[in-house]
Amino acid sequence: MEFASVLLEWYRENGRDLPWRQTHDPYAIWLSEIILQQTQVKQGWDYWTRFMHRWPTVEALASATEDEVLREWQGLGYYSRARNLHFAAKQIVAMGHFPDTLEDIKKLKGVGDYTAAAIASFAFGIPAAVVDGNVYRVLARHFGIDTPINTTEGKKLFAAMAQELLPTVNCQLSTVNSEYNQAIMDFGAIQCTPASPNCMFCPLVESCVAFRSGTVAELPVKLKTLKVTERHLAYVYIRCNYQTAIHRRGPGDIWQGLWEPWLVESPTQIPHDTVILRKNVKHVLTHRVLYADFYLLEVDERPKLPADYIWIKESELDDYAKPRLIEKLLSSLLPSDN
């Protein structure tokens, strides 16, 4: 039995039952793909449900403010996805309809080759192969390909192979190629997993090059190019007459558009009457490791701060989207005695 047929048969018995797979609504599918770009399905499911409930149409999402979208996104990380999502919603509304060709879908902000192929395939039946981490792994192992997946050569090779294996049919809204795309991704997520793949009960084991050659654990190959750096931060939470000061992070750095307490640039800026609440709280990002100290300063008069800080009621803090690290630090605060 050929590769695609085996995967489709496996998928019909083992595929994941996900709500965005029960619709051809491109908005619902696009939203799920953006959320799942850097998020596991288990976590992303709840966010997708909340977004769909609050903004059931692309027009509703486009009419929201960026702050509202960031606040709903809080906890998912990679906040540029939320900003791009909001921007693209406005793009779609300006077009007058959701783009329905692969080329036009790629014009949406935050949509790359994989996401465009997924939307095109799942929403419109367009024969476009998806290539995500699961697909790389399944193809690399089954066909014994050791070309690094994060090189130009590797990306072209795997994209061409994935497209060639796609069981296309000549009609719009066909479910065959979209079902296959879902099948190979689920196969990688459930059967051919990164660690401890279930090779003994794999329907493709007899034709799997990696299994026969004992190289399952070595494939796919990925070059290590990312240099991880460390960064130290110090925050002072100011409590003044049941109010506190926060500011929105600007462009060109982590957490653009999110809010945080007073970020102290130098230890010499920390007032002498502060109380240390947390020390060296570790927070890991993709390309760096953060270590944060957290202080509490309780005063009767507002200290002088940079012009971009605003004063809000402490009870309103939850209305502002904040990075996960800041949420972690704030959890160590005792409530004010109001």
Cα–Cα dist 180/173, whole Å: 14
Structure-token pair, residue 223? 């070059």
Cα–Cα dist 185/11, whole Å: 10
CB 250 within 8 A of CB 244: no
How far does CA 100 lie from the centroid of its chain? 23
CB 330 within 8 A of CB 277: no
Cα–Cα dist 269/85, whole Å: 38
Cα–Cα dist 236/240, whole Å: 12
Q: Is 310 exposed, middle or buried (0-12, 13-18, 19+ CB in 10 A)?
A: middle
- Exactly one of 33, 72, 179, 260 is catalytic; name it: 33
Decide: helix, strand or coil at residue 73: helix
Cα–Cα dist 297/271, whole Å: 8
Dihedral of the alpha carbons of 71, 73, 77, 79, in degrees to the nearest 10: -80
CB 231 within 8 A of CB 328: no
Cα–Cα dist 52/63, whole Å: 14
| Annotation says 265 is catalytic | no
CB 260 within 8 A of CB 323: yes
Cα–Cα dist 17/6, whole Å: 19
Cα–Cα dist 153/178, whole Å: 26
Cα–Cα dist 126/168, whole Å: 9
Which run of H or E residues covers position 292? strand 288-299
Residues forming the active site? 33
